[in-house]
Amino acid sequence: MPLEPFDGALLKFERAKHHINDLNRQVAEFFKQKACSFVFIRDIKAREAAIRFEQHKPPPDVFGLIIGDAIHNLRSALDFAVCDIACAHGADPERVQFPFAKRPDGLEQVIISRQVQLAGPKVVQAIRDLKPYPGGNDDLFGLHMLDIADKHRLLITTVSAAMLENLTVPNLDTSTPAFQMMRRAAFIGLKHEEEIVRIPYAPPSRAIRRATRAFKEKTDIGGSFHIAFAEGLPFEHEPVVPILVRLNECVASALHALGMALT
């Protein structure tokens, strides 16, 4: 049975949602395995303490593959929709693509070069309203740039930590300015055994009594972590799963706008 207009676009869109859900599940499982944590290190002799990030497992390469599949299916859904409309009016399917421009004043030329104008004035206006260029619709253009990046290299991910508002540290005065600043911070692009903060530490008397046995003590204090886009990619350092959900919603809005232009 032949596909109806937009059926191919909707199939691509639904497949992207499948990949996003799969990634969300695998990311949650990755962090359940204690892949990384923050540790609190007491240096009793020096009367200092530090909080350090420790990564025990790197994000698996399959995350980049799943992200690439989700991105490509979202980008393809836009191409499929425009191609369905324009080719029904004589456009060359090998030339038609959803138009993206590097600048606002370049959009009209891309619309012509991609033969989108053959889809009719309502569709062209719907695309103009979507503003698929930097500074217009940054999410939509970011999707386009991620799809280009995925054609040439694996979409690398890194670990980022959420704000540490709920972090508690044993035997530590959390009212100090250094600790309060750390609570408000968001840590990105973390490296294994990276020290986050060093602060004065006045140990309790029982810790002083044990000082001859152990000058340093280390306690795992957990933390809240995300998989983020690596530096140099669109949405760099931002959590991947929420960004993909946002891009999914952005494409859904674009498909709806194109569909409304046909009524």
Residue 13, both tokens: 């869109």
Q: Which of 110, 107, 112 is nearest to 130 (CA)?
A: 107
Q: Where are the beta strands (DSSP E) in the chain?
A: 36-43, 48-55, 157-161, 194-200, 216-222, 225-229
What is the C-alpha to C-alpha distance for residues 133 and 131, in angstroms, rounded to an integer? Answer: 6
Residue 151 burial by Cβ neighbours in a 10 Å radius (0-12, 13-18, 19+): exposed
What is the C-alpha to C-alpha distance for residues 211 and 43, in angstroms, rounded to an integer? Answer: 9
Only one residue has tokens 């995300």, namely 226
- Sketch the domain layout of the chain as residue ranges: 7-260
pLDDT tens, N- to C-terminus, the chain (263 residues) = 334 568 899 999 999 999 999 999 999 999 888 888 888 787 767 677 777 888 888 889 999 999 999 999 999 999 999 999 999 999 999 999 999 999 999 999 999 999 999 999 999 999 999 999 999 999 999 999 999 999 888 888 887 765 455 555 555 666 666 566 555 455 555 666 666 667 676 665 555 445 444 456 677 776 778 898 988 899 988 899 999 999 999 999 999 999 999 88
- For residue 155, list its beta bridge partners: none
Only one residue has tokens 């674009």, namely 254
Going by C-beta distance under 8 Å and a sequence separation of 6 or more, which residues neighbour residue 177?
A: none
Q: Helix, strand, or coil here: 61?
A: coil
Q: Helix, strand, or coil here: 17?
A: helix
